[in-house]
Amino acid sequence: MARPRAFDTGLAVERATDLFRRKGYHATPMPLLTARLGIGSGSLYAAFGSKDGLYAQALERYCAALVAELTRRTEGETDIRTALRTLLLALVTDDVADPERGCLLVNAATERAAHDATVAQVRATMAAAEAVLTGALERAAERGELGTGRSPAELARFLMTFVQGLHVMGNARADQAFLENAVSGALSVLD
C-alpha cells in the first residue's frame, strides 16, 4: 500500500513556478527544486513523474492564471484604454519591482522552444489570451471606443506581442519611465 503524500502538491507547484520564473528550466537543478519544495527527490518523482512533469504543471497553472487575470481585467463595461493601461502599468510595476521574477510564458517560449509540449502550451495560452483581448476590443469597438481602422483581432495580436516584449525589457532592467513611455506608445494604436 502506498503512503499518502506528506506535502501539498499545489504549494509545491506554486514554489516551483516561482523558481522556474526566476531561474528558468535549465538553471533549476533537482537539488535546488527539492530544497525549495521541502521534499525529497523520490517524493518529487512520485508526485510529478519528473522535473519535466513538475514544469508542465507549473506552466499549465501559470498560463491558466494569466488568461483568467486578463479576462478579469478586460471584462465588463470599463473603457478599454483604461483597462489596458491599468493592466500594462501593473505589469511594468511588477517587472520593475522584481525583474528577476520574469514571465514564465516568455521563458518557456525562448528556453524550451525544442520541447513540443511546452511550445503547444505557449501557443495555446497565447491564442486564448489573444481571444480574450479580441473579445474585449470587439466590445470596445461596439461602444465606439476605438478610433482605428485596424481590426480587433489585429490589435489583440499586436498587444500580445507587445506584452511579451514588455516583459523582456523588464528583465533587461529597463526603468519605470522607459516602460511607461512604451505603454503609452503601444496604446496609441487604439486611436
CA-angle at 64, arms to 136 and 24, nearest 5°: 120
The span from the CA of 33 to the CA of 14, in Å, is 12
| Residue 22 covered by a domain | no
29 in a domain, yes or no?
A: no
pLDDT at 1 (0 to 100) = 46
Task: Give me the phi and psi of 173, to 5 degrees please.
Answer: 70, 30
Q: Flag whether 46 is in a domain.
A: no
> Where residue 88 sits, what CATH number does that domain have?
1.10.357.10
Q: Is residue 76 part of a domain?
A: yes
Give the angle 159-85-103 at the CA atoms, nearest 5°. Answer: 55
Q: Are 55 and 16 in contact (CB under 8 A)?
A: yes
pLDDT at 58 over 80: yes
Which of 5-14, 50-59, 92-101, 166-175 is the most confident on average? 50-59
Mean pLDDT of 44-57: 95
Residue 91 lies in a domain: yes
- In this prediction the pTM is 0.90
CA dist., res. 106 & res. 160, Å (int): 11
Confidence at 149, pLDDT banded by 50, 70, 90: confident
Domain extent, residue 95, equals 59-190
Nearby residues of 182 by Cβ (< 8 Å), 6 or more positions away: 162, 166, 169, 174
User: Is 1 within the bounds of a domain?
Assistant: no
Residue pointed to by grid coordinates 512533469: 53
Separation CA 154–CA 147 (nearest Å): 14
A 10 A CB-CB count for 61 gives 16
Q: Please give the pLDDT value at position 113.
A: 93
Is the pLDDT score of 186 beyond 90?
A: yes
- State how many domains the chain has: 1
Give domain status of residue 48, yes or no: no
Average pLDDT over residues 95-108: 91
Tell me if 52 is assigned to some domain.
Answer: no
One-letter amino acid of 163: V
Give yes or no for a contact between 59 and 18, defined as CB atoms under 8 angstroms apart: no
Torsion angle in degrees (nearest 10) through CA of 101, 106, 119, 62? 40
Computed on alpha carbons and rounded to an integer, the radius of gyration of the chain in Å comes to: 19
pLDDT tens profile 2-35: 555 567 899 999 999 999 999 999 999 999 999 9
Q: What is the dihedral of CA 122, 128, 134, 137, to 10 degrees?
A: -100
* Distances, alpha carbon 167 to alpha carbons 34, 54, 114, 138, 156, in Å: 28, 23, 21, 25, 17
Residue-wise pLDDT for 74-100, tens only, equals 997 789 999 999 999 999 999 889 988
